[in-house]
Structure 1
């Protein structure tokens, strides 16, 4: 039997499809400004995400793209901008009204984007826990401010489904709220607050562990931003609860024998007198050349106890390159 909170979520987004709610997620991420891309006003009003899952470096070589939880279709349109092929992008949603709203928005998008055709996007009824997609068939899968709604077992299932449909080396791009404080149980069990992407927020380390536990061998933390405050005057909490949004890319790499590689923005800098420092594990540091390193490599380098290697703290912004 389906859990009641999922039905509440459906109702919230059914209403959001029929009556666009500009402040529903209150994203702080600037909307992509790209040559020849115009986003219809209603699409912008239905931007129910907490960040962005569209990154050009993920979208090379005509990837097959899956987006789960279509919203008003804005990120589907952005993905299609890079794909521009019939059926190159698939959008899956469980809410009929949201699928229909996206269809209507694509008609408007065609009027202001000469390059765009609605047929570039294939809209499919289905849910994140039982994706109507073949195994190992997707290059880039994405979701924005959806998975944080799920409780533990359902979140695990949703991640397993994304892992299942991705090709080897495929990428799962996620944007979700996270919270390092203990969320009061009364808020965590509030079905509407969970549906509104607030009370289901997990600590970042727990969120990452959920991702790596299903098999993703590499995880990149690409951005972390302030998102919301839950305050005692308006919510059942005795203290201010600070929520951040995080953008993550998980790659379906083989799991290393010593555990996943998680990039949180750490950098190693060697400033010694030798030509380089070689840890004999595939990591070569050149003098005064910053190298992005995963947390695992950062720990291993620190364990050498050298006074000529500097390891920066995590800044939760990773932009490619690195040790792995």
Structure 2
């Protein structure tokens, strides 16, 4: 078994060794650029950890890990275009650096590159691996579509929101873990347990992100605190407040949507969150998803000691500093 750090190093080395065609330069340079921007490589790490649960050498699952990371970065290129985001990991986004049309096309080619990585897997697991990958990719796209649609709606339910983050965020974590198990030759039952772990852990991770966006320490969280409030993003916290607030409180909340005095807006809505105990309700919801996740992991038929690195990574991600 490798440590998380060792797996991150293996992934970085594998990414650097991927050779893309030299021409056309404006098609392939953006791919090398975004793939080498860094990040924690959480999804490929989870894939390799899942594979190693079943006595499978990490290097044998590396093509699957590269497929997942390539697909993930493809979605980032297109998400940044949709969000008109200027920066990604502190650097210019691909569409800022090369233009929107080039960014779209480079993203398209990344989907092809991801499939090319998968086709290098052993023929015995290839069909199941492709099925898992394609279902995962489709789910992520569905989640992004729902997220965009929710921006135009005022009647989004908490159930709908949880389903959206399941698709947009959690399905890729789940799919990566199931793919790692498939490549390692795990039983269908074990692969599905890992999928259940990843899906519910991914939901918990996003709920924690929602909480930190309001209550986190900006120096430790790495983002502007209150960004979701400023943009009227329909997170679990806002939806729960809309569900519980009555009378003058509900009127106050609704009056804040158009408020452009952002510090005052953040203060007003945060005060309402505190008044209605929204943070504690969100934490309870997050912990419920975590309980389901860890229960699924317990059922995976691998020695408990082999799950240590996976558990360590999961706890480190969910216990990010407030």
Instruction: Return the structure number with greater relative CO, CA threshold 8 A, min gap 6.
Output: 2
TM-score (norm 1): 0.29
Bigger helix fraction: 2
TM-score (norm 2): 0.29
